[in-house]
């Protein structure tokens, strides 16, 4: 199996329609042992979703912006496993006033929150798990991206944070490569997750993908994205790091769809 014997940390599971949940499902089906993280009011949702996986994993509390939480998680994993082979970073948040076409009015505090939670948190997770991955002889960190090489309607400071996330993944790939730790981003097409639906104007993304993606795109199906995450978490991508892999039906490669001609 693709992930036989791997020990993987999956962050960001809230409901069973999320990319993170489907990545955990496929990872288990492919032989991995996983743990999930959640925090605050969402922790109960994470625990509920964990029970819907093939094997119910343990759930640990992790507010990525609280250093003590990351330290405690690393300690738990060291006691439990001794080492970690991989991690999915599926963490992101922007305050309401940082989205929805209010880019020029967003206060610096809200922009900083979007950056810290959605981008800098990848560095926090990577550093927190660094020693455990070294104990495994290397590992793989995958983060979830939405390609922001162009400005999108309504995405605003979350888009800026995603640009920073891509850059951070490259710098982490540089600094962790000597320990055989790979860091990659998966740029997914729009999916109707809880997080996505909270973005004003999400319907614009749906209609745009429908007209432009040459392979088509189903906003209700996270499975193709989760499969790519598992490939990158596996030993089948041993020399891939610092990469942004698009799983978007080919949308990123097409300037105009047939319905736009």
| Active-site residue set | 155, 162
Please give the Cα distance from 146 to 186 (Å, whole number). 8
- With vertex at residue 67, the alpha carbon angle to CA 64 and CA 68, rounded to the nearest 5 degrees, is 110
Please give the Cα distance from 142 to 144 (Å, whole number). 7
User: Which tokens is 32 given?
Assistant: 């991995």
Does residue 146 contact residue 208 with C-beta atoms inside 8 Å?
no
| Residues 6 or more apart in contact with residue 205 via CB below 8 angstroms | 152, 190, 196, 219
Please give the Cα distance from 45 to 14 (Å, whole number). 5
């Amino acid at each position: 199996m693709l992930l036989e014997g791997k020990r993987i940390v999956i962050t960001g599971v809230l409901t069973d329609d999320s990319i993170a949940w489907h990545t955990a499902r496929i990872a288990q089906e492919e032989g991995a042992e996983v743990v999930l993280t959640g925090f605050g009011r969402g922790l109960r949702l994470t625990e509920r979703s964990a029970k819907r996986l093939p094997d119910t994993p343990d759930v640990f509390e992790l507010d990525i912006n609280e250093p003590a939480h990351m330290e405690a998680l690393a300690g738990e994993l060291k006691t439990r496993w001794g080492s970690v082979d991989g991690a999915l970073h599926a963490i992101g948040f922007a305050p309401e006033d940082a989205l929805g076409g209010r880019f020029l009015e967003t206060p610096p505090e809200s922009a900083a929150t979007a950056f810290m939670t959605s981008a800098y948190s990848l560095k926090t997770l990577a550093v927190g798990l660094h020693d455990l991955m070294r104990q495994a002889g290397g590992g793989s960190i995958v983060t979830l991206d939405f390609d922001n090489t162009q400005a999108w309607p309504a995405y605003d400071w979350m888009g800026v944070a995603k640009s920073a996330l891509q850059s951070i993944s490259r710098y982490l790939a540089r600094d962790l490569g000597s320990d055989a730790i790979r860091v990659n981003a998966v740029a997914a097409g729009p999916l109707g997750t809880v997080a996505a639906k909270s973005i004003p104007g999400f319907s614009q993304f749906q209609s745009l993908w429908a007209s432009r993606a040459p392979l088509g795109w189903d906003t209700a199906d996270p499975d193709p994205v989760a499969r790519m995450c598992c490939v990158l978490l596996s030993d089948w991508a041993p020399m891939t790091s610092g990469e942004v892999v698009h799983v978007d039906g080919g949308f990123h490669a097409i300037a105009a769809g047939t319905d736009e001609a």
